[in-house]
Structure 1
Amino acid sequence: MPRKSHCDVDELKEKLMKVPFIQGKTNTGGALERAQQMLAEGRPSVPKIILLITDGDATDKERLDAQIEKLKKSNILIYTIGVGDLIDRNELNRIATDEDFVYETRDFDSISKIKSSLLGRVCKKAKPKTSGVCGDISVDLQFIVDSSSSVTRKNFGFAKNFVANVSSVFDLRSGDVQVGVLTYSTNVHSDSAIGLGAIHSQDDFVEKVQSMKYTGGDTHTGTALRYISTNNRWREEVPKILIFVTDGTPQDRAIVPAAARSLRDKGVRIFAIGVGNAVESELKEIASEPYENHAIFIQGADYSAVQRVRGHLERLVCNDVLKITTGQDPSSTLSSGFNFNLSFN
């Protein structure tokens, strides 16, 4: 059913009840591909959501793997609902936007039991029409992403997806929110960097982030922090947030504390995220206090695990921004309005 072909709920229900049952294989990859094509025709300014309902393993594994990679690079939120005993939990986790986007039920009759929880989650994730999830705020948000040899090309891809997804919390269109990205290894990669305020479209921002190249090399974290401290054009009157992602000990550790302190002295709140071989004590040399809110250490995992802390980080960032600007509890200021595109499979 084309997404635009229904004017009201009753008409949609009537047509849904007339959808015939067609047996065959479980071509989940093909279904997700078609759903993404349908959502691409939707309104660019509203969130896009897929609910996948299935009772078994996909039979088009290669197509599914390719489609999962495409979807992870998009801004589409994907919820998976597994029904019965033959589901593959790992497959549902891979498809879903995050592991807490996965639901399981005993049988199809039991789906109604998760309706309230699922609808509540969907509505909460959908963004307001005119503002980001944090509400009508102004912020300068800078990412620094490690592109050294220890990260690997695959994990650098996960890091780019993470940056794209976190940035989607904010509304870039008005210019009130400025987002920048810098990658580094032995040197900072200023030629491919996104400067604060350089892009005002979420789609253009994601495209630019995904075009950033993996370089390999050493981990010169102090050099990257010093570069941002010296060269960033932070606005004086707005909150300044820096999100730093790394997986190891910097070779220039001697200059890291001073470089981080220079940023904090300028009023920059620093969130340090360490993955795999990162050292928690070194993250605390970079992060703002309190460390429990600003130093996030994911022990013994690869970069795919970074997505698991995305929601937690978004709440912490919004909390910092709102505390700086209003002193209010963010739970009382986040908008409850929503508008979204939704696709079922």
Structure 2
Amino acid sequence: MEYRLCLLFISCSAMMMSISEGALQKVCPGKPADIVFAIDESSSIWPVHFLTLRKFIANLTDSFDIGPDQTRIAAITYSDTVTHRFSLDDYKTNEDVRRAISRIDQKTGGTRTDLALKHIRHKIFSESKEGVPQIVVLITDGDSWYPEKTIHQAKLLKNRNVTIFTVAISKKIKWEEVEMVSSQPTESHIFSVDSFNDLGVTLVERLVLSTCKVQGNPVGECNINFKSDVVFVLGSASQNPGGALKAVGMIEEIIADKNTFVGDASLRFGMVPRQCSLDLGFHLNSYDNKNDIIDHLRRRKQLSTTADHINYLVTDSFEYRNGDRPEVRNLAVLIMDRESDDMAETLAAADLAKEAGIEIIVVAVGKQVNDNEISMLASQPISDYKITLSDYTEVADFKHKVYSLICP
């Protein structure tokens, strides 16, 4: 999966010396990747320029070995809404992908870049292939309608180890938004041209070579440099003292695991308190090593409602003063073994948490949970964020599934 920089530079430079448009050579042979093109089709793009844009994308795809176990390509277009053009598994050869791109028409409208990024996260990159880089090539000629929403959706994608390249086609575009949306470092993830006439071979070369360098993260494996802020919540399990003890035991298994690294440069953990200051709650900046966290978890008392716990995530747990790091993911692991006392209140609290950018992983234990409630509490896609266990003995399954979300 790794390239040595000197070999990559020499071999790719040699290939590109004789390259011509429409006859691009493969530059990442044998290296798989999942690439999504997010194509601006707003009214500010003239039809003749949209045809140029389509040709540019087709030339880009010619540079990859396309196949089920090689590079897979998907495409969406966006204006006021998002149109899903084709998925990663739809086409398995370069010729089929090129034909599919040639059939993309322009609908025109506004620029809802935020909806495009959200669609990619929910509908295309909802699952990961181990070790395969996930890449978005975002192409636009102007500012999005809702920059804050766009930046937020880009952050959620990048938090899941998705790399975002931006092709900006305008002299008037707002660079602050482009830089916030694109992956770091921006000098190798932003490609700027003044007009559609500049979408030529030189830009294709630069963009393709940059995508070659993207590395995929092993799914479900944390390393010492992987950052997430994770807060555990004992929901309805808290009403059952025996269930609470078992739930805390499962949490201890996660913290004590040899793959768990705790610290400012790695993972940080917190827990929502259960009766104000009288119980085992702690903040993200309370402890910087796993042994102190485990010692703390062994102090247990009675709990309040599930809705109160979830509200606490927003008002306290994920606050900067309590150790939240703005640049990393916010995840809550909510463990429940029965239906909440007030479903409407609980769901409302969960909606507020998700609007604040908190991803909610729901762990449903046993047969007394309300499956409908669990599904509505979990973040999207539900198939990833909803974990069901028959009882508290399934610790190994719990650890594997939670790790696959903490370190996607």
Q: Secondary structure at the match of 2:31?
A: coil
- Find the counterpart in structure 2 of residue 162 from structure 1: 56
* Residue 229 of structure 1 pairs with residue 124 of structure 2: no
Q: How has the CA–CA distance of structure 1 residues 173 and 215 changed in structure 2, closer, same or farther, with 3 Å as cutoff? A: same
Partners of 1:253 and 1:194 lie apart in 2 by 26
Partners of 2:151 and 2:199 lie apart in 1 by 24
Partners of 1:120 and 1:258 lie apart in 2 by 37
Whether contact under 8 Å (2:49, 2:196) holds in the other structure is yes
Q: Secondary structure at the match of 1:320?
A: coil
Partners of 1:168 and 1:249 lie apart in 2 by 29
Q: How has the CA–CA distance of structure 1 residues 185 and 124 changed in structure 2, closer, same or farther, with 3 Å as cutoff? A: closer
- Find the counterpart in structure 1 of residue 179 from structure 2: 284
Letter in 1 for 2:49: N
Unmatched segments (≥5 aa) in structure 2: 1-12, 219-408
Letter in 1 for 2:139: V
Deviation at 1:118, TM superposition (A): 10
Deviation at 1:196, TM superposition (A): 1.0
Give me the TM-score of the superposition, normalised by structure 2: 0.46
- Find the counterpart in structure 1 of residue 87 from structure 2: 195
* Residue 268 of structure 1 pairs with residue 187 of structure 2: no
**Greater Cα radius of gyration, structure 1 or 2:** 2
Partners of 2:41 and 2:115 lie apart in 1 by 13
Q: How has the CA–CA distance of structure 1 residues 235 and 254 changed in structure 2, closer, same or farther, with 3 Å as cutoff? A: same
Q: In the TM superposition, what are the counterparts of 1:173-188 in structure 2 within 5 Å?
A: 173-188=67-82
Letter in 1 for 2:113: T
- Find the counterpart in structure 2 of residue 296 from structure 1: 191
Give me the TM-score of the superposition, normalised by structure 1: 0.54
Letter in 2 for 1:287: S
Partners of 2:107 and 2:20 lie apart in 1 by 38
Deviation at 1:123, TM superposition (A): 7.9
Deviation at 1:216, TM superposition (A): 1.1
- Find the counterpart in structure 1 of residue 18 from structure 2: 122
Letter in 1 for 2:178: L
* Residue 214 of structure 1 pairs with residue 106 of structure 2: yes
Q: In the TM superposition, what are the counterparts of 1:243-262 in structure 2 within 5 Å?
A: 243-262=137-156
**CA offset digits 1:161-207 (Å, max 9, x no partner):** 111111111111353211101111000012xx110121012111111
Superposed structure 1 runs of 4+ greater than 2 Å apart = 117-128, 173-176, 233-236
Whether contact under 8 Å (1:264, 1:288) holds in the other structure is yes
State the identity as a percent. Answer: 23
Deviation at 1:306, TM superposition (A): 2.2
Q: How has the CA–CA distance of structure 1 residues 170 and 251 changed in structure 2, closer, same or farther, with 3 Å as cutoff? A: same
Unmatched segments (≥5 aa) in structure 1: 1-116, 326-345
Q: In the TM superposition, what are the counterparts of 1:94-173 in structure 2 within 5 Å?
A: 121-122=17-18, 132-173=26-67
Whether contact under 8 Å (1:152, 1:216) holds in the other structure is no
Deviation at 1:236, TM superposition (A): 3.1
Whether contact under 8 Å (1:144, 1:184) holds in the other structure is yes
Q: Secondary structure at the match of 1:189?
A: strand
Partners of 2:42 and 2:19 lie apart in 1 by 39
Q: How has the CA–CA distance of structure 1 residues 127 and 148 changed in structure 2, closer, same or farther, with 3 Å as cutoff? A: closer
How many residue pairs get aligned? The number is 201
**CA offset digits 1:213-248 (Å, max 9, x no partner):** 111100111111111111114433111111000011
Whether contact under 8 Å (1:274, 1:280) holds in the other structure is no
- Find the counterpart in structure 2 of residue 315 from structure 1: 209
Q: How has the CA–CA distance of structure 1 residues 142 and 273 changed in structure 2, closer, same or farther, with 3 Å as cutoff? A: same
Q: Secondary structure at the match of 1:236?
A: coil
Partners of 1:231 and 1:120 lie apart in 2 by 35
Letter in 1 for 2:208: E
Q: Secondary structure at the match of 1:148?
A: coil
Deviation at 1:297, TM superposition (A): 2.2
The alignment yields a C-alpha RMSD, in angstroms, of: 2.6
Partners of 2:15 and 2:29 lie apart in 1 by 21
Partners of 1:145 and 1:204 lie apart in 2 by 19
